[in-house]
Structure 1
Amino acid sequence: MSTPAREFDFTQQDFEKIRKLIYDYAGIALSPAKHDMVYGRLAKRLRALHLHTFNEYLKVLERGDSKEMELFTNSLTTNLTSFFRESHHFDILADYLRGHRSVGTLNLWCSASSTGEEPYSLAITACEAFDTLRPPVKIIATDLDTNVLETAKAGLYAAEEVEKLGSVRVKRFFDKHASGKYQAKQELRDMIVYRKLNLISQDWLIRGPMDAIFCRNVMIYFDKPTQLKILQRFAPLLKPEGLLYVGHSENLYHAADLFKLRGKTVYELAKPGGAPPSLLTR
């Protein structure tokens, strides 16, 4: 049986150029097996621009069109998420927050916020730990994908997704919206500042020290050298007792001089106090 002809001409050379572009810009290492995925996701951009080949699209990107580069990156990033994903992480965070009630404002960084379920889960955890909708907690939530950041800021979610949290949490932390969806309460939204951030860029514009950094299911998209560079920048941003949370399929064995395992996919500094707080400017 012959393979159906594709709508757009997409050569192996085109694919390799795209792999290099997304690696250089975002650190994402696409495997050769992602050939069809890349075609499927970027074909939408070719249609939108009325182009006929991927070579034409690459020329648009190579001209330095910043808006198209943003859309290109948005197309190739994956945003699978849910509320309280890997729930044990939030139990550990709640214990940490309760144990640091007297230290003033606590700072959390969600470094890949996607559509907002994770930062809102952090906010809910903080509210429950302090038993108030206005806990002394600030959350910075960042992502490379500008589309998902807009979704996260709005805090609007389908009923079937929110209702999985249980009636008590839904009533306490969400309002029914005119659209039929649920919206995170204003108090939760006020706790979170959203920013676009590229983890491989030089200008993170994040000021430490942080009580916790969530970087879950992100490292799997980077090669080991890129992972290590990011982890080297995380370390001075954490408080001596601060925690780094990673995804269930990730490990930091290659950064044992920086982080040691504290619990299931939760790490702490290998040498607390060994690195000064980051002086990166806002």
Structure 2
Amino acid sequence: MEEDVFDRWAMLIRERTGVEIPRERHSFLATGLARRMRATGVDDPEDYYRWLTRGPGAAVEWSALVDLLTVQETRFYRDPQGLGLLRRYCRDEAPGGSRALQVLSAGCATGEEAYTLALVLEEAFGGGRGYAVTGTDISLGALAVARRGEYPAMRLSRLPRSLRDNGVEPVGEARWRIAERIRRRVCFVQMNLLTDDPVTLPPLDVVYCQNVLIYFARRQRERLVRRLADWLRPGGLMILGGGEFLPASLAGLHRVGGEDVLAFSKEAS
């Protein structure tokens, strides 16, 4: 793939999804495009580009390409430090009242993170309080997996035994499924975090965003963090991936949780 062709595709992906594909990932993009062209029977890259931007059925094929190019690296219980902070927040700082605690799993991929949050909340509240987790991702294919809530046993290897025993059930040889009472607390929505209007989201108490910001340019990272902060209620908690992004300053937010976790609390208005 020539540099000008790469730049054209990278710009299209950046404009539509916000995802940055640097030139050192040239082969990753070229391989993904070649796979989709073979699958659709299109031989000419220019014809494929025109189809994606102007042709009939472009939305369906664009979704398939995004599924292929969006890195969906995730696992259960990926960030023990952040989850420990979430437990402390539930115990000491979560707002009182009868309403359900609202939690966002931003860029949830195939759902392991969203279900981990639900399992931690179930344990923290012990059935004494309602909660709801919304998982968002740009990939329809990943969300289809998430909604099934069924995973091979190896994907649960890092999940603490107490959480697994309380909310995961065997469904066959070396396969497990999230218990129905947990799945009822979790919904999944397709969403581009940078551009989509969050009309489907309630005011949030917790935003959990792991391994997402690294795929965006710095300016877009700052914009995304500010968007996520805007969706938080006063007193709400935002947990990012450790070492992922540390802004110089974010008005209305202050750092919490110590050095081993990157998290912010939204100041009361």
TM-score (norm 2): 0.90
One of 24, 29, 45 as aligned partner of 1:33: 24
Q: How far is the alpha carbon of 1:159 from its aligned partner?
A: 1.1
Whether 1:212 aligns to 2:203 is no
One of 140, 155, 177 as aligned partner of 1:183: 177
Q: How far is the alpha carbon of 1:248 from its aligned partner?
A: 1.6
Give 2:45's aligned residue.
54
Q: Distance in 1 between matches of 2:69 and 2:252?
A: 30
Q: Give a deviation string over 1:19-63, Cα, whole Å, max 9, x none.
A: 011110011111111100111222210111112232222121121
Q: Distance in 2 between matches of 1:101 and 1:223?
A: 34
Within a 5 Å distance, the mapping from 1:166-205 to structure 2 comes to 166-178=160-172, 180-205=174-199
Q: Give a deviation string over 1:214-260, Cα, whole Å, max 9, x none.
A: 11111111122222222232223212211111112222324432433
Q: Distance in 2 between matches of 1:169 and 1:215?
A: 21
Q: Distance in 1 between matches of 2:104 and 2:160?
A: 26
Aligned-pair Cα RMSD in Å: 1.9
- Between the two proteins, the alignment pairs up a number of residues equal to 262
- Residue aligned with 1:273, SS: coil
Whether 1:107 aligns to 2:102 is yes
Give 1:273's aligned residue.
268
Q: Distance in 1 between matches of 2:251 and 2:157?
A: 42
One of 247, 252, 266 as aligned partner of 2:241: 247
Contact 1:114 1:145 in 2 (8 A): yes
Q: How far is the alpha carbon of 1:166 from its aligned partner?
A: 4.5
Q: How far is the alpha carbon of 1:209 from its aligned partner?
A: 2.3
Bigger Cα displacement from structure 2, 103-112 vs 54-63: 54-63
Q: Distance in 2 between matches of 1:260 and 1:183?
A: 38
Q: Which runs of 5+ in 2 are unaligned?
A: none
Within a 5 Å distance, the mapping from 1:112-131 to structure 2 comes to 112-131=107-126
Give 1:280's aligned residue.
none
Give 1:231's aligned residue.
225
Q: Distance in 1 between matches of 2:158 and 2:211?
A: 22
Give 2:59's aligned residue.
66
Bigger Cα displacement from structure 2, 106-115 vs 244-253: 244-253
Q: Distance in 2 between matches of 1:243 and 1:256?
A: 14
Identity of aligned residues (%): 24
Q: Distance in 2 between matches of 1:160 and 1:242?
A: 34
Q: Which runs of 5+ in 1 are unaligned?
A: 1-9, 275-282
- Residue aligned with 1:177, SS: strand
Whether 1:85 aligns to 2:82 is no
Q: Distance in 1 between matches of 2:252 and 2:15?
A: 25
- Residue aligned with 1:256, SS: coil
Contact 1:126 1:135 in 2 (8 A): no
Q: Distance in 1 between matches of 2:115 and 2:241?
A: 17
- Residue aligned with 1:22, SS: helix
Q: How far is the alpha carbon of 1:101 from its aligned partner?
A: 7.1
Contact 2:204 2:236 in 1 (8 A): yes
Give 1:7's aligned residue.
none
Cα 1:260/1:165, change in 2 over 3 Å: same
Contact 2:254 2:265 in 1 (8 A): yes
Contact 1:111 1:213 in 2 (8 A): yes
Q: Distance in 2 between matches of 1:231 and 1:37?
A: 27
Q: Distance in 2 between matches of 1:166 and 1:202?
A: 35
